[in-house]
Amino acid sequence: MNDNLDKLVKQKNELEKKIQKNELLIKQSKYYESNKERKIRTRKLIQKGALLDKYFDIENLSVDETESLLKVFADYVKNNKP
């Protein structure tokens, strides 16, 4: 009886370790995916900002000035997207 109980306790501990290991793997996987998505988004924003600078020659404008400029063209661009 005591041996059986010891085996069950040992199995329980092993299963708990496996569960913790799998939970850690899931957490790491989620972190990796969110980090990957964040890097993709950041790269996309940088590329779009570079295009904005290139075609509108606005390197010397502040963020607020750039926003004001974009507001002027926003409706036209939204209605005439390629």
Contact 70, 59 (CB under 8 A): no
Domain that holds residue 46: 2-79
The CA distance from 82 to 78, in Å, is 10
Amino acid, res. 12: K
The verdict on pTM exceeding 0.85 is: no
Categorize the per-residue pLDDT at 3 as very low, low, confident or very high, splitting at 50, 70 and 90: confident
Question: What span, in angstroms and rounded, lies between the C-alpha atoms of 16 and 79?
Answer: 57
Number of domains in the chain: 1
Indicate the DSSP class of residue 32: H
Q: Phi then psi for 66, rounded to 5 degrees?
A: -65, -40
Q: What is the pLDDT of residues 30-65, one digit of tens each?
A: 999 999 999 999 999 999 999 999 999 998 999 999
- 81 pLDDT band, cuts 50/70/90, is confident
Q: Do residues 63 and 76 make contact, with C-beta atoms less than 8 angstroms apart? A: no
